[in-house]
Structure formats: structure tokens, C-alpha cells
């Protein structure tokens, strides 16, 4: 008898006298979870997002739709980015005044090629205020998952307030579970047993989030 069979046998014996649920599994346990913690205005929700993003060491910027191209160009220039990776559906005007060479998101790009790119600019699917989390779902303005995991500098644009929700349950309602979801809470980081923090291990070392409001975004 294998270890697996022994363990399953013990489980069956332990459950032998347990009462069976009369209803379907999804109705067996009441799940009256809170959809959000407390009541906040739209403005307060956006403020909470900015606060939690910064707490996770993301760099937060705010601008209007009209200012966005100049802001992105400034962030790339300050970084010294000579190349910027661009998803196929990213609005052209976002990079209209950026001087960095645009690199298209191509399926045949190798990890080594992506690693040579200085920056990547994307939109997002939704942002969660309570957790300071940005979610990408591989949409046309976000590109493939790997383009935000290999380059060292990620500029992510969040349209506010339309893409901002309070809680994870609210975010899940907007997301398709069949899409390749990437949940980002700050720049990539890890720490060892002595709590020495190392950034850029499995994703960008620098995450800059632009909260853009108003007008045609």
C-alpha cells in the first residue's frame, strides 16, 4: 500500500460517520463576506489606492488625460530609457512625445531580448484600493504577461476613477478568470530568513503608476 492510499484511507475512516451535506457544495457554507471595509467616496477610494501603492514602494504620479503624454515622456527620460516596450493596443498618443525607441510586443521575442529593453508602458484592467494592487489581464493595451515581468522598469497607467475598485471581491467581478491575470502589489521583491529585502527578483525593480483622470484617456 502506498503512502497516498494510507492517507486517503485515514481520511475516509475519519469521515465515515460525518453527516453529508443535503444541498450542493456552493450552498453548504454561508459565505456572507464583506464586499468592502467601510464606506468610502470615490475620491477617498482613489486616495486609498495611491496610499497603498506608495506603501508597497511603487512610485505614484497623478495627471490629467491631456498631461499624460508629457508625464510618460518625462518618466522615460528620467529613467534614461532608450527603448520602451509597447503593447499593440496602447493608445498612440500616450507615447506621442516620448523620445525612446518603441519596441513592439512580439510573440517571438526571447527573454534575453526583453531583458535588454529599458522600460515598458502598459494600461491595466483594474486597480484595488484596499490592497494597493494593480491587475493586468493581457488585454491589447497591456500585452503578454512576460513583457511586464522581464524589463526592469514598468510604467502602468490607471484610469481613475473608472478602473479603481475598493476591494478584491469587487475586482474579481470585473475580471475573466480564463484570462492570464497578473496581480501586482508594488515592484518585484523578496526577502530571506533575515528579512533582507531584494527587489527585481521576478519582475521589475521599479514600478511607476500614473493615475490619470478626466477627458479622453
Q: What average pLDDT score do residues 173-195 get?
A: 86
Within a domain: 2: no
The pLDDT of residue 26 is 66
Count: domains in the chain: 1
Q: What pLDDT band is residue 25 in, cutting at 50, 70 and 90?
A: low
Within a domain: 13: no
Within a domain: 165: yes
Lowest pLDDT segment from 106-110, 131-135, 179-183: 106-110
Mean pLDDT of the chain: 91
Within a domain: 146: yes
Contact at 8 Å (CB) between 87 and 96?
no
* pLDDT of 217 strictly over 70: no
Q: Which domain holds residue 54?
A: 40-213
The residue whose grid cell reads 515598458 is: 120
Distance CA 186, CA 212 (A): 18
Domain harbouring 198, CATH code: 3.40.50.10420
Within a domain: 6: no
Within a domain: 82: yes
The pLDDT of residue 177 is 93
* pTM exceeds 0.85, yes or no: no
Kindly state the DSSP code that residue 62 receives in the 8-state scheme. E
Instruction: Convert the pLDDT of each residue in 44-88 to its tens digit.
Output: 999 999 999 999 999 999 999 999 999 999 999 999 999 999 999
Within a domain: 99: yes
Compare 110 and 31 and report the one with higher pLDDT: 110
> In 3D, which of 126, 118, 192 has the Cα closest to residue 155?
118
> Residue 4: CA atoms inside 13 Å, Cβ hemisphere, count?
0
User: Rounded to a whole number, what is the largest CA-CA distance in the chain?
Assistant: 71
DSSP strands (E only) in 59-205: 59-64, 83-86, 101-104, 119-122, 126-128, 133-136, 153-160, 164-165, 182-184, 189-191, 197-199
Within a domain: 128: yes
Contact at 8 Å (CB) between 210 and 68?
yes
Distance CA 136, CA 138 (A): 6
Amino acid at each position: 500500500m502506498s503512502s497516498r492510499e494510507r492517507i486517503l484511507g485515514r481520511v475516509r475512516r475519519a469521515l465515515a460517520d460525518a453527516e453529508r451535506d443535503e444541498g450542493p457544495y456552493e450552498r453548504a457554507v454561508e459565505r456572507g463576506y464583506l464586499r468592502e471595509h467601510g464606506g468610502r467616496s470615490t475620491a477617498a477610494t482613489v486616495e486609498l489606492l495611491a496610499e497603498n501603492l506608495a506603501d508597497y514602494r511603487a512610485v505614484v504620479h497623478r495627471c490629467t488625460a491631456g498631461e499624460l503624454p508629457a508625464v510618460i515622456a518625462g518618466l522615460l527620460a528620467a529613467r534614461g530609457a532608450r527603448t520602451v516596450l509597447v503593447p499593440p493596443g496602447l493608445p498612440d498618443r500616450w507615447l506621442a512625445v516620448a523620445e525612446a525607441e518603441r519596441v513592439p510586443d512580439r510573440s517571438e521575442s526571447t527573454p534575453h531580448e526583453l531583458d535588454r529593453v529599458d522600460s515598458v508602458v502598459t494600461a491595466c484592467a483594474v486597480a484595488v484600493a484596499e490592497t494597493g494592487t494593480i491587475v493586468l489581464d493581457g488585454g491589447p493595451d497591456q500585452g503578454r504577461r512576460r513583457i511586464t515581468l522581464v524589463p526592469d522598469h514598468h510604467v502602468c497607467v490607471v484610469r481613475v476613477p473608472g478602473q479603481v475598485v475598493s476591494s478584491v471581491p469587487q475586482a474579481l467581478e470585473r475580471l475573466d478568470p480564463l484570462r492570464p491575470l497578473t496581480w501586482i502589489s508594488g515592484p518585484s521583491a523578496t526577502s530571506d530568513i533575515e528579512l533582507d529585502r531584494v527587489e527585481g527578483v521576478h519582475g521589475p525593480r521599479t514600478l511607476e503608476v500614473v493615475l490619470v483622470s478626466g477627458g479622453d484617456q
